[in-house]
Amino acid sequence: MKVTILMVCFSTLLLFSCGSSDDKKANDQNENAVKNDVSDPMKDKGIGPITSVTIGAEVDKAMAAEGEKIFVSKCTACHKPDKRFIGPAPKGVLDRRSPEWVMNMILNPDKMVKENEIAKKLLMEYIAPMANQNLTEKEARSVLEYYRTL
């Protein structure tokens, strides 16, 4: 019994002493993931730079037009607005996902498809990974506004 306790202590010690900074980072993120409420997809904000988005009551038409331009040039190779293509259609996405989740999926797809439960399932369904098209946060926000018009 004593030996077992001792061994546990040692292995714990080993684990901690060997943990690189990368492991620690991963741990931190796991904690965040735990805090993230995933029971309701509308409350899942995903993983990435976006923690909160304010959506206006009315659609910002100028911003949506800008977003459409970006969508056409950077996203249409894989997404059609209203039907499944390489990836899912963005039409109605804000009824299924939080705005933060959508923007994080655009801005941080590599991590999302590895660590976010919804994104992981989407990758299994669509197989093609979501490409990181290196949009700025402002551009991603415009695309989000465009999605409101679909």
Binding region for other proteins (CB under 8 A): 72-74, 76-78, 85-86, 127-129, 131-134
Q: Helical H runs in 19-92?
A: 21-35, 61-74
Give the integer Cα–Cα distance in Å for 115 and 113.
6
Which CB, 22 or 95, lies closer to other proteins? 22
Distances (CA, A) of 29 to 32, 46, 98, 140: 5, 11, 19, 23
**Least spacing, CB of residue 74 vs other proteins, in Å:** 6
Give min distance, CB of 86 to other proteins, in A.
Answer: 7
Output 7 or 55, the one with its CB closest to other proteins.
7
Minimum separation from the CB atom of position 72 to other proteins (A): 5
